Amino acid sequence: MANRSIHQMGLPRSIANIFAARNINTAKSEFVMSPIEWDSLFWVLFPGSEALSLTEFELMELLDVGLSDVASAVAHISEIASPPYQTALSLMEQRLQNEHLAGHLSTCLKGLDEALFGGIPFGVLTELVGPAGIGKTQFCLKLSFLAALPPSYGGLDGRVIYIDVESKFSSRRMIEIGMRSFPDVFNKKDMAKEMAGRILVLRPASLSEFTESLHRIKVSLLEQEVKLVIIDSMAALITGEYELGAPKQHSLGWHISFIKSIAEFARIPVVVTNQVRSRNRKEVSHYSFQGRSRSESQEYSSGYDSHLVAALGVHWAHSVTIRLVLEVKSGQRFIKLAKSPMSPPLAFPFTITPSGVSLLSNNGEELSGAEINEIHCQGHSDIIINHLGKHQ
């Protein structure tokens, strides 16, 4: 609206002529005035929250017109140049409509799907972060299978690109998860072979090879009818880029932007796993409202797993829309919805079964404060030995 001609704004002819006499043709027209006069008139004409900051008497002096003409002109320009008001109800309806059009990939974990309003959302980055052996790859394997399923079983009936950085992808384990979760599907002839054939696995050995893989992905998204992209894991690509436990300012900026563009361009879910690292003592909570008192900090620092945080740093954390943290507290696994624009932080107890990740309760426990971003690892070694030996 700023470049629109003053004569096209429907102002009374007398006011429009005053602007024309001063050679003001648009809201961005250049003309000679004193700094004070220019600053005042600019904010009147240019759309923004400052348009009504001047009093009517100041505008009368500036434009040399009567009070009624000033009030009418300002009201008219504001109505045309300013964005219309929207109610909270209309915004909610628009969001629900957008979410419906965007879609979700169900995780088949009822409580988590309900918290995410349907599952892993399309068009954004979803991150899985947790210590080694906690179940991140198990989660990804199940998502891969679900995306390849026919729509009648809740799947997306498409191909999956799985970037397997750490060579943890197991087709045998994925088939086992599928057979245990959907025995009816696998009773059909050659169905297991067909499902496995829809998973395209890439194994880049370096960051440069990963960059090449990303370019190949964007070309094949539409050709291959890809419905899900998984990167397992992002942090493994930059091993050695850390100093004193904190990430250096490495060149991941381009990769982050490119991965986000893949999700937005194809309107598909993109899931990326991330590792944990030791927190530097000088580091504090990301947000002041998640801080602790001194007594709480001293008690916390003496804990068993008080120094674990997500790798890749704050820049990466702000790039993901959904963050799921997998952790262990007192020998019990939890999947924590730590970041989501549609749900409060929640924690769900889970276990690893032959059918993959399974929730022990669909009722998530609400979290607050520093607990949201903390990553616990109490009793994790015992769980790996007892439950994960043959799976990861």
Q: pLDDT (tens digit, 9 = 90+) per residue, 307-359?
A: 688 888 787 888 899 999 999 988 899 999 999 998 999 999 999 999 999 99
Decide if pLDDT at 293 tops 90: no
pTM across the whole model: 0.68
For 24-35, what is the mean pLDDT?
A: 45
Q: From CA 269, how far away is CA 119, in angstroms rounded?
A: 10
Residue-wise pLDDT for 347-391, tens only, equals 999 999 999 999 999 999 999 888 888 888 865 554 444 444 444
CB-count burial class (<10 Å; 0-12, 13-18, 19+) for 254 = exposed
For 298-313, what is the mean pLDDT?
A: 60
What pLDDT shows up at residue 316? 81
Q: From CA 388, how far away is CA 231, in angstroms rounded?
A: 21
For 17-33, what is the mean pLDDT?
A: 53
What pLDDT shows up at residue 134? 93
Q: From CA 212, how far away is CA 88, in angstroms rounded?
A: 44
| Lowest mean pLDDT across 34-48, 216-230, 378-392 | 34-48
Q: From CA 357, how far away is CA 123, in angstroms rounded?
A: 24
- Would you place residue 297 in the very low, low, confident or very high pLDDT band (cuts 50, 70, 90)? very low
What pLDDT shows up at residue 188? 79
Q: From CA 110, how far away is CA 118, in angstroms rounded?
A: 9
Residues in CB range of 319: below 8 A, 6 or more apart = 125, 256, 260
Q: Which residues face 121 on adjacent strands?
A: 104
For 246-253, what is the mean pLDDT?
A: 56
Compute how many other C-beta atoms are within 10 angstroms of the C-beta atom of residue 167: 11
Compute how many other C-beta atoms are within 10 angstroms of the C-beta atom of residue 14: 11
CA 199 to chain centre: 24
Please give the full DSSP string across 304-339, using - where no structure is assigned: TTTTEEETTHHHHHHH-SEEEEEEEETTEEEEEEEE
Residue-wise pLDDT for 131-143, tens only, equals 989 999 999 999 9
Higher pLDDT, 145 or 191: 145
Left if phi > 0, otherwise alpha if psi is -120 to 50, otherwise beta: which for 23? left
- Contact between 243 and 303 (Cβ < 8 Å): no
What pLDDT shows up at residue 97? 62
For 9-34, what is the mean pLDDT?
A: 59
Read off the amino acid at residue 172.
R
What pLDDT shows up at residue 187? 78
Unique residue bearing structure tokens 């361009």: 265
Unique residue bearing structure tokens 């880029």: 241
Decide if pLDDT at 122 tops 90: yes
Backbone angles phi, psi at 26, to 5 degrees: -135, 175
Q: From CA 63, how far away is CA 337, in angstroms rounded?
A: 56
What pLDDT shows up at residue 30? 38
Tokens for 392?
A: 């990861």
Q: Of 1, 7, 86, 87, nearest to 51 (Cα)?
A: 1
Q: From CA 293, how far away is CA 242, in angstroms rounded?
A: 29
Q: From CA 275, how far away is CA 211, in angstroms rounded?
A: 20
What pLDDT shows up at residue 28? 44
SS3 at position 333: strand
Residues in CB range of 137: below 8 A, 6 or more apart = 168, 169, 232, 273, 392
